[in-house]
Each structure stands twice: as structure tokens, then as C-alpha cells.
């Protein structure tokens, strides 16, 4: 009856109010977005002008000629110097040994690379009082850190870091070669490479033509020098019933693995 009708009118009115509010919110949002777009466009245009001006100036070897009408603000010089210093500090990372003095001593970063590719970096936090001590480090457990520390940490920190860097770089190099081999030549290798954590013993079965059914060659590479990324001992053997030609090939491979990086050997 009447009550039901009134209820219906009320709900209708309520719904209309809700819709009206939604429309207003939408209008507001649109207006905000429009304003933001305008502001960003302005910012972008100003920047474009600045960059175009820079390009027109084409500064010569002497650099930007100071314009007496627009002297560079001290703050800009300070900010320039900050960026300049940050870039120089980043360069030390490329040299292999980088560090930063801390409250208690120094925190060193040792970076590793194989040829032109930079790999993992490792850290050591040292405190210098009363003696030089290692507080924390991220050196893997199979690197003889304690042995090297005992010998050089107290007497010659540079030598200590240099030797540690050699070990780490050789390990990283061996690991990189094995990983590259597995990534690019997996179809020539039977299963996965067998190796130890230090990556100085590798054993795998392989074949030369790709996608072959059998893997007649077995290679065993021993890297006797922990600071070297080439093996000291290589044995390539064939199955006992292999023809003489294969045995000959195995011998030449053996030679090659001793002189050429593993993944490069497979490339040729």
C-alpha cells in the first residue's frame, strides 16, 4: 500500500543521491587528472627547452663557458661535486677492491669478473682496534679465508685482500665457465656436470656432434691451482670399445681443455 510506495520512493531518492555523489566524485577526479597532466606537460616542455639549449651550446673541450649573466648557484656546484665523487667511487668497484671506512674500521668489497663480465662481489667488514679482525664477511666457506688471514691479515692487509681477490676471481671464473657450458651446450652433455662447491673438479660425459644419442667421451678436469681458472690436469677417456679415431680425438680434446676456457673449447 502506501507504506510500500513511500519506501520505494525513499530508496529511489537514496539511489539517486548516491549516483549524484558518484558523478561529482568522477568530475573531481577528472579535473584533478586534467590539472596534473597540464602541470606535467609544462614541466616536460621546460626540460625539453633546457636540453635543447644544452645541445645548441655544444660545449667544446674547455667545457661550459660560464655565463656572467647566469652564474651557477653554489648549491649546484655542491651537487655537481657530489655526483662527481659518487661516479669516482663507483669506478673503484671496477678495479676489484673497493671499500668504505666505518665506525669500527673498514668494510671492503671484492668484486669478481671473468674477462669482461663482472660477476658476484663479496664483502668483509674489518675492525682495526685493537688488532685487525674480521667482524663479518660473505666469503664462501670453501675459500681458505682463515689460512690467508693467518698469514697476512695482521702484517699486510693489501696482500691479504689481493690474495683473497685472486682466489675469489678464480673460483668465479671456473663457475662461470661451467655455467656457460651448461647453458649453451647442454645438448652435448649427458645430464648435468658433476662438480664440487669450489668448482675445481668437473666430470661430465659429452659428444661432439650435437643431439647425438650417445656420449662416448668422459672428461675429468682438475683445477689444482685455486687461483687459476684453467685446469692443471685433464683426462678425456672413451668407452673401452671405441675406435682408434675417437681415442685420438679424445687426446686432442684433453690438450685443448688444458689451454682454452671450457665454454670456448666447446664453441670451436
Partner 1 sequence: MEKNICQVYEAEIQALEEEIKVLTEKYEEIQQEYTSFSDEEILKSIKLFQREILGENKGYKSPSNLIFQLENLETDLLFLMKFTGFQFTSHSKKTLERTGNRTVQKNRLSGKCHSLSFQLEFQLTKMQENVSSVITDLKIMMESEEGSDVSKFVSRAEECRSLLKFFRSISSYAEWHEHRRNTFLHFK
Four-residue CA torsion sign, 238, 240, 246, 251: positive
Nearer to partner 1, 30 or 212 (CB): 30
Q: CA-to-CA distance for 140 and 13, rounded, in angstroms?
A: 72
Which distant-in-sequence residues (6+ apart) come within 8 Å of 249 by Cβ?
A: 208, 217
Q: Are strands 201-206 and 233-238 parallel, antiparallel or unpaired?
A: unpaired
Name the minimum Å distance from CB 78 to partner 1.
5
Nearer to partner 1, 96 or 216 (CB): 96
Nearer to partner 1, 90 or 239 (CB): 90
Name the minimum Å distance from CB 122 to partner 1.
13
Name the minimum Å distance from CB 60 to partner 1.
9
Cβ contact 92:149 at 8 Å: no
Name the minimum Å distance from CB 103 to partner 1.
12
Question: Residue 118 burial by CB count (10 A; 0-12/13-18/19+): exposed, middle or buried?
Answer: middle
Cβ contact 231:246 at 8 Å: no
Nearer to partner 1, 15 or 102 (CB): 102
Nearer to partner 1, 84 or 154 (CB): 84
SS3 for 130?
coil
Name the minimum Å distance from CB 206 to partner 1.
25
Residues that bind partner 1 (CB under 8 A): 26, 29-30, 33-34, 36-37, 40-41, 43-44, 47-48, 50-51, 54-55, 59, 63-64, 72, 74-75, 77-89, 91-92, 94-101, 106, 111-113, 115-119, 158, 162, 165-166, 169
Amino acid at each position: 500500500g502506501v507504506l510500500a510506495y513511500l519506501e520505494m520512493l525513499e530508496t529511489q531518492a537514496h539511489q539517486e543521491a548516491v549516483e549524484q555523489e558518484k558523478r561529482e566524485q568522477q568530475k573531481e577526479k577528472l579535473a584533478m587528472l586534467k590539472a596534473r597532466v597540464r602541470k606535467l606537460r609544462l614541466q616536460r616542455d621546460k626540460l625539453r627547452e633546457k636540453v635543447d639549449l644544452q645541445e645548441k651550446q655544444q660545449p667544446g673541450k674547455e667545457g661550459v663557458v660560464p655565463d656572467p649573466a647566469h652564474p651557477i648557484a653554489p648549491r649546484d656546484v655542491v651537487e655537481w661535486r657530489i655526483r662527481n665523487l659518487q661516479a669516482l667511487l663507483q669506478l673503484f668497484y671496477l678495479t676489484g677492491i673497493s671499500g668504505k671506512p666505518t665506525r669500527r674500521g673498514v668494510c671492503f668489497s671484492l668484486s669478481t669478473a671473468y674477462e669482461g663480465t663482472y660477476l658476484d662481489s663479496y664483502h668483509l667488514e674489518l675492525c682495526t682496534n685493537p688488532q685487525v679482525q674480521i667482524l663479518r664477511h660473505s666469503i664462501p666457506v670453501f675459500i681458505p679465508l682463515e689460512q690467508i688471514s693467518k698469514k697476512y691479515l695482521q702484517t699486510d692487509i693489501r696482500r691479504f685482500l689481493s690474495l683473497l681477490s685472486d682466489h675469489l676471481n678464480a673460483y668465479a671464473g671456473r663457475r662461470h665457465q661451467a655455467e656457460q657450458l651448461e647453458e649453451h651446450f647442454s645438448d652435448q652433455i649427458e645430464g648435468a656436470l658433476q662438480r664440487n662447491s669450489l668448482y675445481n673438479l668437473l666430470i661430465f660425459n659429452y659428444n661432439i656432434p650435437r643431439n647425438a644419442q650417445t656420449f662416448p667421451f668422459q672428461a675429468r678436469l682438475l683445477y689444482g691451482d685455486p687461483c687459476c681458472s684453467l685446469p692443471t690436469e685433464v683426462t678425456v677417456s672413451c668407452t673401452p670399445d671405441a675406435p682408434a679415431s675417437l681415442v685420438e680425438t679424445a687426446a686432442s680434446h684433453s690438450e685443448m681443455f688444458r689451454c682454452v676456457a671450457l665454454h670456448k673449447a666447446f664453441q670451436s
